[in-house]
Amino acid sequence: MTEYTRELSKDILERLQTQRIVGNQTGASQADVSITEALTLLAEIERLQAELKTAKEAA
């Protein structure tokens, strides 16, 4: 795992943990929190795919 990947993973996990805490404090159900986490991960995957495509095109 590259340093970039490690840092990215750490960042994603921190954001998901923050969402979980906020969701729990606001009375969101576990399902709501899980859906939010899944959507966050999907958005991050899409962002990374676009970044990879751009990098490949530039190479």
- The gap between the terminal CA atoms of the chain, to the nearest Å, is 22
Domain boundaries, the chain: 3-58
Q: For residue 47, give the nearest of 1, 8, 6 by alpha carbon.
A: 8
pLDDT (mean) for 6-25: 79
Give pLDDT, residue 2: 75
Percent of residues, the chain, with pLDDT higher than 90 = 5
The residue that leads in pLDDT, 16 or 1, is 16
Q: In this predicted model, what pLDDT tens digit does every residue of 29-46 receive, in sequence order?
A: 777 778 888 888 888 888
Helices 30-58 and 3-25 cross at an angle (nearest 10°) of 150
